[in-house]
Amino acid sequence: MEKDINTIIDVDPNEAEILIQVTEMLFEEWYGDRHKRAERLAQVKKIADTKKEQKALPSPS
């Protein structure tokens, strides 16, 4: 961490664009993927619950 926070260093447009892309990538990986992961896990839980219900039913004779 820099000690002198009053020093301003120029950033060219390409550097700014790359930093924006990194920020967007991190946002998508953290929030977007977390949502997708939760959806997938909910689907797996639903399948497991259905199988558990089927197992509890009396077997046909």
Q: How does DSSP assign 28-55, residue by residue?
A: IIIIIHHHHHHHHHHHHHHHHHHHHHHH
Which residues of the chain register pLDDT less than 50? none
Q: Report how far residue 14's alpha carbon sits from residue 5's, in angstroms, rounded to the nearest whole number.
A: 23
Q: What is this structure's pTM?
A: 0.52
Query: Which DSSP category does 8 fall into?
Result: -
pLDDT at 15: 96
pLDDT at 34: 86
pLDDT at 17: 96
pLDDT at 5: 84
